[in-house]
Structure 1
Amino acid sequence: MTATPPRPTDQQLADSLASVLTVERIEEDFYRGIATPQGRGRSFGGQVIGQALMAATMTVDPDRPNHSLHGYFMRPGDATQPVLYQVERDRDGGSFTTRRVVAIQHGKPILNLAASFHSPEPGLGHQDSMPDVPGPEDLETEEAMAARMGDALPEAFRNWLKTPRPVEMRSVTPRPPFDRSPRAPVQHIWIRVRGGMSDDPALHRAALAFASDMGLLGTSMMPHGKTFTDPDMQFASLDHALWVHDDFRMDDWLLYTMDSPWAGGARGFNRGRIFTRDGRLVANVAQEGLVRRITPRG
């Protein structure tokens, strides 16, 4: 009998995420991102976004952090293969820098991304208030919830939860498939990278881009009790936008609060706000995704 490999430590998972997001320069304005470790099937969209942002960041002065990105997914990525990123240096202005990135696999583009970078400067300020929700220490982990519910969950979802993941998620209220009850398309999830990360703010921004694609699309399905493991549904991210307002750490807890004001025509629109533990609003997110009913395979 083959022995079960030991579960990676939290720090090993954090280091694995850092290696995934660290792209390799192979030529002027060309970078390569590694394949998903033990990956199979389609690439996770957040990984491609995070690698594309890191490729763009490599061409920008480190004193000018990224403040926004907008990406369009054009083709499914192959999780078993590396990705080539080609960066176009559109503009280096007095206070803003803009970059375009094309992610390429098998000779075809899978993602177009535009990113903007801004030199910090003072200005007028205001922000939304952080929702009043329980802290992460008072919430059940997804692993514990899955163990408690056992066979009541789809097998594909149980297997996904058993796979060690670098980003931990704790939901304020159970979401599909933990709870299939139709309810308002609003959810609050605490997220953080397990283990410690370096002090490089660019890496934390890339990690946030990675994590911002987790759970967001499912918000539009909460009134319908559907989830990505349902055989009669097809899901895919179509586009993704992220605005970063201030510095933060991904190895500290962040509250990801999401809502979906609209779904229809096989698409769902979702928004997100990301707060630090002390209530600072550090990012906003928007995404439209494919939420198509299909005939299950026989």
Structure 2
Amino acid sequence: MGRPRSGRSGVPVRDDTEGNTVVNEALKELLDLLDLEQIELDIFRGRSPEERIQRVFGGQVAAQALVAAGRTVPKDRNVHSLHAYFIRPGDPSVPIVYNVERLRDGRSFTTRRVVAVQHGKAIFTMSASFHVLEEGVEHQALVAPQVPAPETLPTVQERMAELLGDHPEMREMLARPRPVEARYASPLTWEAYHDPELRSAKTNVWFRYDADLPDDPLLHVVLAAYASDFTLVDTILLSHGMAWGLSNVMGASLDHAMWFHRPFRADDWLLYAQESPWSAGARGLARGEMYTASGELVVSVVQEAMVRLTK
């Protein structure tokens, strides 16, 4: 399939197998969430989706914070790393204010610090570094895992349909439109919960934003940051045969770090290869690499999460 096209209204679209136009309303909503309101110099305001959720999705806060930082950086500099801490749960019913601090503007590197605030308290902090594109030595020691092509794999909805049984809340959640299309090349946590032989410390997931996106490099980095928080904690659970909604466990991201190595497009398939090397003391570590379909390493991710057993 060639590069998808945009609809007249600016809503991202692709054509389905019968040639009909498909409008991804969930992605349109996400792009609207990332279009922050500037309320003062280096101060931005973001909102959350109108959903029945108890706390703001961590990937959303990270993505919005990165947008805020990027709005204060010259266009010739691309983000190459971020380091973030999730301090308090976000309240989805009120806006989030992002305060950007300009720590450094050098000849080739720019550094920003972002604090996300709700109810007068910091809920999230991020340091992000931007770099002018330069020539340098190149190598890639890591090799992308050999997994089936995404087009040959079923969707998450198709795989989960046989497992849900009488879980109406999970069925409702799964049926909601999503901005990110994901296809697993490894067991789901729900599958490993029912079959101990499927337990593993590794997860491979193909993902893409099923739409025609602008060429803005910051947007593609921001969307990768948003997607990076979806499945990392699941890799920790998969090691123990645990699953959300089935096991007595609660989790939350504690910190999150990303390094962006090469330009990429988030509307092309990316393979997110993840593993969990350790968990103990109600915490777990997970790390991942994102590869293009041709095997280029474009993003590295590390996250620590709280994984707490409940009664």
The 1-side partners of 2:147 and 2:113 are apart by 38
Indicate which of 124, 146, 155 corresponds to 1:141.
155
The 1-side partners of 2:247 and 2:293 are apart by 37
Q: CA deviation at 1:39?
A: 4.8
Q: 1:31 to 1:286 in 2, by over 3 A?
A: same
SS at match of 1:151: coil
1:185 and 2:189 are equivalent in the alignment: no
CA RMSD between the two structures: 1.6
The gaps in structure 1 that reach 5 residues or longer are 1-7
TM-score, normalised to structure 2, is: 0.88
Match of 1:287 in 2: 303
> Contact 1:10 / 1:194 at 8 angstroms: preserved in 2?
no
> Contact 2:192 / 2:242 at 8 angstroms: preserved in 1?
no
Cα deviation code 1:123-177 (max 9, x no counterpart): 111111111110111111011122233407x444322211111011110022111
1:196 and 2:196 are equivalent in the alignment: no
Match of 1:57 in 2: 70
SS at match of 1:275: strand
The gaps in structure 2 that reach 5 residues or longer are 1-20
Name the amino acid aligned to 1:251. D
Task: Count residues with an aligned counterpart.
Answer: 287
Match of 1:130 in 2: 144
The 1-side partners of 2:104 and 2:23 are apart by 40
The 1-side partners of 2:35 and 2:220 are apart by 11
1:40 and 2:56 are equivalent in the alignment: no
Q: CA deviation at 1:229?
A: 2.3
Q: CA deviation at 1:193?
A: 0.9
Match of 1:111 in 2: 124
The 1-side partners of 2:23 and 2:207 are apart by 14
1:169 and 2:182 are equivalent in the alignment: yes
Name the amino acid aligned to 1:99. R
SS at match of 1:67: strand
TM-score, normalised to structure 1, is: 0.92
Give the 4+ runs in structure 1 shifted more than 6 A: none
Q: 1:10 to 1:190 in 2, by over 3 A?
A: farther
1:240 and 2:253 are equivalent in the alignment: no
Q: 1:9 to 1:109 in 2, by over 3 A?
A: farther
> Contact 1:156 / 1:229 at 8 angstroms: preserved in 2?
no
